[in-house]
Amino acid sequence: MDDGNAFKGQRARLTCTECYRRKIKCDKNVPCSTCIKRGYANFCTREDASTIPSVPPPAYQAQRVPTASDGFMRTIMERVGELESKLGRRHDASLSEAPFQHPEDASSSPTHNHVPTSPLQENTADVPSEAADTATVLEFLAWGRKKDAQYGSSAEHNSGPRRFSVGQDDPAIASNTMTEASRDAQLDILEALLPSKEHLLQLVEYHNSSILWYHCSYSSTIFNQDLDLFFTEYESNVHNENLNLQWLGLLFSIITGSITCAPPSVYQSWGFSSAEKTALSKRWYEASVTCLNIACYIENHTIYSVQAIATLTIAAHVLGKSNSQSVLLASAGRIAQSLGLHRLGPEGTTAAVSQQQLRHREMGRRVFNQLCTQDWFQIPFSETYSLNPRFCQNAKLLNCNDDDMIPELLSVPTQASYCSYRYDIAKLMPQLLDATADCNTLFTKYEKVLQYDEKMRKLATACMPTFLSTNAPVSNDWPVHVGWARRSLAICASHKIIMIHRKFLGLSFTNSAFSFTRRTCIAASKTILKEALSENDERAPILWIEQAFSIAAGIILSLDALHRSTDEKEVEEHMKLVADTIDYLKGLDESKIASRGIQLLSALQREIREGGTIGSRKRPRTAESSDTTCSSRKRARVLDVESFISNMSQNLQVTIPTSAPTAQVPEYVGDASWDSFVNMVPPQTVLGGHSLFDDLLSFRF
């Protein structure tokens, strides 16, 4: 008997249509008990034998080679089945909890007089959002995306160096000769840039032990396992078709941070000269971004691109890549949300998952913690933020080390301690922005500033872990980075105090109502310089914030001196501190931040010494000017703000926008609001922001 006759002779199906479609058990009655229990008795029917097709469907007629669309359709059908199953279980639970109420019992019910709701409303009122939002989930699948993805549920989240080929085998891309030639050329360059195994191990180990505490963007234990796989299975071959290039981008970002931040004594012990170190730091940064681009990281979302971008931040500003890094961080935030990192809430119990699963989930929390910190610390710079804390399940990081994942007391320093505490500081920034946005006067805005100043001071004193306090002794059992973290935190916390007051800094020089801001920012600036100019451990990493925030402190002290008479003792004191800062920056000749800061602070010092004679004119005095006004202004040096900005822009190779207004009469510094310095230079500057001053005062951690 052939297949066609066999098909025609098959007996009629006794399973009802609903149970057959849902692939669940049926007692073969109409209506069946399953449909009655589920409330679908009206839909319970049985397919007549006459309706069964007499010929096999096309799928049975010939075997064909599976295509990419088969996997896509299979994914959709599996997703539909999952959603239907969840709805069914929810419905069964509601039936068992609230049995059908007979009419004779309705009159005695205390709720019999309420307005009845439809069965649809009753069934979906408390359905989980994932099941209730079926249409949106399916629509996202049609776009090739997942809605409400759960991090750790897909293989690509922990594939390591292994290439996970979802969406990466597009025939149109594979057949593009131009793309193939470009890819091969780029891989050849990447191969030439990749250091030896010995150097890779040294660079990765230094980052794990001396830098990772500062950003926690990846797991050292997991990465070491992946690196070993890269050496053994892939033999360090970047041309291997099965190599995950996004993971390779993470590798390049790690060694970029190491070679950029390592002090001379360390990188010279590895065999790198100063000139080679400078060249490789830039090339490796570009190599990391190239790896991500070759792997189409914008389309193919994995944790490795997020980790690579977050890790690059520690080197980007020193290398003059601030603009590029800000765009990369924005994309990393969207990719992180696509992966569901913002929904990694607290663990119910650490015993419920394996140590490796816990390590992977905690790694996701830590890198998202870093993205939030970066985003919120740039708020004074952009007056907005991308990652809204209201819609993030921001679980507190586990205070544990990566190797054992054993939670420690908050008084015990671990790999995550510094980032966890710094995150608490960062959370104040979006709160302050939202609070001041609702105020309509300077008075009410300043009240909010003072309120958050108090919160910041409390956080920096009463809430600070003991091991991060500079007044507490250092235990021999603590990690080596604790001393470095203390120094870094003293600088960073002082800079954040300045950021809280930044909007009133210019006004504080001329308006006594805001004198508290002036005193606060001067004190914070001196704290920054005290820490930055002090001697440091010779093996400690050179962090870019020490350079950037020292320049910010020097700017504030210079502006304060410009608002004082030459015979005031503070002028000489400030001039000495700024001069020391310039000498400190001259020792960092490989840093773009340092080189720009030297030019900027030197120009401000010339203005102080020469009384603002460069490009300035006397401001005409009106007859209406009172003696009080004159006496308050005679101590303020004359400074042509626009001329100064223009000269500095040319020196730093920054272009002034043609639409910038030209003042007919130069302003006194005392009359120029802080926004005069903010809006003079376009956002396309090499420093990456609104002005030379605002750039340096608004650097992120």
* Cβ 550 vs Cβ 528: under 8 Å: yes
Quick check: bond before 389 cis, omega within 30? no
The mean pLDDT of 400-423, rounded to a whole number, is 93
Cβ contacts of 541 within 8 Å, gap of 6 or more: 210, 211, 214, 261, 262, 263, 484
CA distance 597 to 320: 12
Least trusted range by pLDDT, from 49-58, 311-320, 615-624? 615-624
**pLDDT score at 71:** 53
For the stretch 6-10, contacts whose Cβ atoms lie closer than 8 Å and that sit 24 or more positions apart, written own/partner, are 7/54, 7/55, 7/56, 8/54, 10/52
* pLDDT, greater one: 34 or 194: 194
More confident residue, 473 or 634: 473
What three-state secondary structure class fits 613? coil
CA pseudo-torsion sign 180, 181, 185, 186: negative
- Burial class (CB within 10 angstroms; exposed 0-12, middle 13-18, buried 19+) of 296: middle
Q: Residue 404: is its pLDDT beyond 70? A: yes
665: CB partners within 8 A, 6+ apart: 617, 619, 620
Look at residue 389 and tell me whether its pLDDT is greater than 50: yes
Q: How confident is the model at residue 694 (pLDDT cuts 50, 70, 90)?
A: very low
Q: Examine the pLDDT at 77 and tell me if it is beyond 80.
A: no
Q: Is the pLDDT of residue 125 over 50?
A: no
* Cα 459 from Cα 690, distance rounded (Å): 30
Mean pLDDT over residues 119-131, rounded?
Answer: 43
| Percentage of the chain lying above the pLDDT 90 cut | 47
- Segment 353-372 mean pLDDT: 91
Q: Measured in Å, how far apart are the chain's first and last C-alpha atoms?
A: 77
Q: Indicate the pLDDT class of residue 26, thresholds 50, 70 and 90.
A: confident
For 680, residues 6+ apart whose C-beta sits below 8 A from its C-beta are 641, 642, 645, 649, 656, 660, 691
Q: Are 533 and 579 in contact (CB under 8 A)?
A: no
Alpha helices in 108-263 (DSSP H): 119-124, 129-132, 134-142, 171-174, 177-193, 197-206, 212-215, 220-232, 245-261
Give pLDDT, residue 618: 39
More confident residue, 380 or 560: 560
Where is 633: in which H helix or E strand? helix 627-633
Mean pLDDT of 662-679: 40
In the numeric block, which tokens belong to residue 232? Answer: 């053994």
Q: How far is CA 169 from the centre of its chain?
A: 29
Look up tokens 């840093």; give the residue: 591
Tell me the range of 130-139, 176-185, 580-589 where mean pLDDT is highest.
580-589
- Determine phi and psi for 71, rounding to 5 degrees: -65, -35
d(CA 490, CA 336) in angstroms, rounded, equals 30
Nearest CA-CA partner of 699 in 492, 447, 413, 452: 492
- Give the C-alpha separation, 442 to 42, whole Å: 68
49 and 10 Cβ atoms separated by less than 8 Å: no
121 pLDDT band, cuts 50/70/90, is very low
| In the chain, ranges of CATH 4.10.240.10 domains | 3-58
Cβ partners under 8 Å of residue 238, min gap 6: 187, 190, 191, 194, 245, 248
Instruction: Give the per-residue pLDDT at 99.
Output: 42
- Could you tell me the CA-to-CA distances from 337 to 75, 327, 342, 365 in Å, in that order? 21, 16, 6, 12
Is the CB of residue 680 less than 8 Å from the CB of residue 669?
Answer: no
CA nearest to 23, candidates 92, 79, 81, 90? 81
3-state secondary structure 150-169: CCCCCHHHHCCCECCCCCCC
| 3-58: CATH, from 4.10.240.10, 3.40.50.11540, 2.60.260.20, 3.90.226.10 | 4.10.240.10
Locate 562 and state its tokens: 């410009």
Residue for token digits 């830590």? Answer: 366
Mean local confidence (pLDDT), 296-315? 95
Residue pair 498/525 in contact (Cβ under 8 Å)? The answer is: yes
Question: In whole angstroms, what is the distance from residue 594 CA to residue 588 CA?
Answer: 6
Q: What burial letters (b/e) apply to 424-434, b meaning 16+ CB within 10 Å?
A: ebbbbbbbbbe
Q: Which amino acid, 278? A: T
Whether 161 has a pLDDT exceeding 90, the answer reads no
Where does the pLDDT of residue 153 fall: very low under 50, low under 70, confident under 90, or very high at 90 and above?
low
Mean predicted lDDT score pLDDT of the chain? 77
Give the pLDDT score at 532. Answer: 94
Of 290, 210, 289, residue with least CA distance to 257 = 210
pLDDT of residue 46: 78
Q: What is the pLDDT of residue 72?
A: 53
Q: Which of 127-136, 354-363, 402-411, 660-669 has the lowest mean pLDDT?
A: 660-669
Alpha-carbon torsion, ordered 293, 299, 301, 304, to 10 deg: 0
Residue 43: which residues within 8 A CB-CB, separation 6 or more?
17, 18, 35
**The two three-digit tokens of residue 529, written as one number:** 């310089």
pLDDT at 57: 41
User: How do residues 227-260 score in pLDDT, each as one tens digit?
Assistant: 999 999 999 999 999 999 999 999 999 999 999 9
Give the single-character DSSP code of 441: S
Name, in order, each residue with C-beta under 8 angstroms of 283's C-beta and a sequence gap of 6 or more.
Answer: 193
- How far is 160 from 248, CA to CA, in rounded Å? 9
The C-alpha R_g of the chain, in whole angstroms, comes to: 32
- What pLDDT score does 226 carry? 96
Q: Is the pLDDT of residue 10 over 60?
A: no
Helices 245-261 and 220-232 cross at an angle (nearest 10°) of 120
Instruction: Give percent of the chain above pLDDT 70.
Output: 66
Most confident by average pLDDT, 282-291, 335-344, 376-385: 282-291
The DSSP letter of residue 24 is -
Q: Is the pLDDT score of 405 beyond 50?
A: yes
Can you spell out the DSSP letters for 357-405?
A: HHHHHHHHHHHHHHHHHHHHHTHHHHS--SS-GGGS--PPPP---TTT-
- 156 pLDDT higher than 90: no
Read off the pLDDT band of 470 (50, 70, 90): confident
What would the two tokens of residue 142 be? 């049609």
Q: Rounded CA gap, 580 and 530, in Å?
A: 10
24-33, 119-128, 455-464: least confidently modelled range:
119-128
Sorted by sequence, the CB contacts under 8 Å of residue 374 that are 6+ apart come out as 310, 313, 329, 700, 701
